[in-house]
Amino acid sequence: MERSAMSMTGVGFAAGSCEVGDVRVEVRSVNGRTLSIKTRLASGCAGFEASIEELVRERLRRGSVAVVVERQAGAPAGPDRTVMHAAAATLRSIAEELRLSPPSLADVLQFVGPLRNEAVVSRPCPPGLRRLLEGALSELERVRAADGLGTVRALETWFAEFEGHVRAAAARAPAVVEAYRERLLQRAQEFVAKHVSQPVEAADVVREVAVFADRVDVAEELQRLQQHLAEIRSVVVRGGEVGRRLEFLLQELLRETNTLGAKSPDTTLAHTVVAMKACIERCKEQVANLE
């Protein structure tokens, strides 16, 4: 089932105990053309970056995302338990082979110390920390969904206003074409009477006037505007990853609106076109925040 349109802005938190101690997880996202992920992890979390990024990519599609894992106030930093267990197992195996006493905690700590300065290989995120990350991501998704709903409602308001302007332009357009045709015919007749000595067929004048009058006919532009608007509404209702598709459709709206303004010599229609462009700009500002 397709989810509703989601915002790219939000933040989610989770806190609790896990394999690396008592931590607080924050996942924050803002607008982004693609999905980019940055991590800032507490000591003991080295090597989890790849698995954390994979988890985020499973849940989000667009946005600039920051994942922060930090120790709770007052929580001891402590060594990485996973590393300590692996080191203890290694030392115990060696001790058995050499028939020596089992390693003590001090031996393990002494062995692990130098390893902290070595490059840490990628390793899977442990279950406890993963649960906290998933909780923070779930809260982020709830925030993004609520913000996305508000954005869609704002878009609906601007779409309705834009649609009203399109209807006004459609109602005005036939009168503009007719008035332009009448002016052209009058001027053509005046020019012929003043500058042409030979008789001119009236049908020829009317035909030429009709050709020029068709240049201000905006019926096709208005039809395409209505089609684009219908597609925009369909995309919003469908939900999911709508941001890029809406950005493209708004560009198409703007292109047709510009053509409408360029073709029309009417002042009233020119004012309507300005209002339509203002609506498109407001919509672009809202759509820029949708996933």
The predicted model scores a pTM of 0.70
Contacts of residue 5, Cβ cutoff 8 Å, sequence gap at least 6: 148, 149, 151, 152, 236, 239, 240, 242, 290, 291
pLDDT tens, residue by residue, 246-286: 999 999 999 999 998 888 778 888 899 999 999 999 999 99
What are the structure tokens assigned to 5, written together? 């349109």
At 68-110, the pLDDT tens digits run: 999 886 555 556 666 778 778 888 888 888 888 888 878 777 7
Among candidate residues 49, 46, 48, 69, the one with its CA nearest the CA of residue 118: 46
Output the pLDDT for position 276: 95
Count CB neighbours of 49 within 10 A.
Answer: 18
Q: Domain for residue 89, yes or no?
A: yes
**Based on the domain organization, do 190 and 170 belong to the same domain?**
yes
Share of the chain above pLDDT 90, in %: 48
Same domain, yes or no, for 104 and 153?
Answer: no
Whether 224 is covered by a domain: the verdict is yes
Considering the domain architecture, whether residues 103 and 139 belong to the same structural domain is answered as yes
Same domain for 100 and 165, yes or no, is no
- Expressed as residue numbers, the domain containing 124 is 10-147
Same domain, 244 and 139: no
In the chain, the number of structural domains is 2
| Full DSSP string of 70-138 | EEPTT------HHHHHHHHHHHHHHHHHTT-PPPPHHHHHHHHGGGGGSPPPP-PPPHHHHHHHHHHHH
- The neighbour count for residue 21, using CB atoms within 10 Å, is 20
Please name every residue paired with 63 in a beta bridge, in sequence order, or none if there are none. Answer: 35
The pLDDT of 107-121, averaged and rounded, is 61
Higher per-residue pLDDT: 120 or 95: 95
pLDDT digits (tens, 9 = 90+) for 125-145: 899 999 999 999 999 999 999
DSSP state of 218: -
pLDDT of residue 162: 95
One-letter identity of residue 47: G
Q: Which two tokens stand for residue 83?
A: 């590393």
Q: How far apart are CA 180 and CA 186, in angstroms?
A: 10
3 state SS of 30: strand
Specify whether 100 is located in the same domain as 136: yes
Quick check: 35 and 57 in contact, CB under 8 A?
A: yes
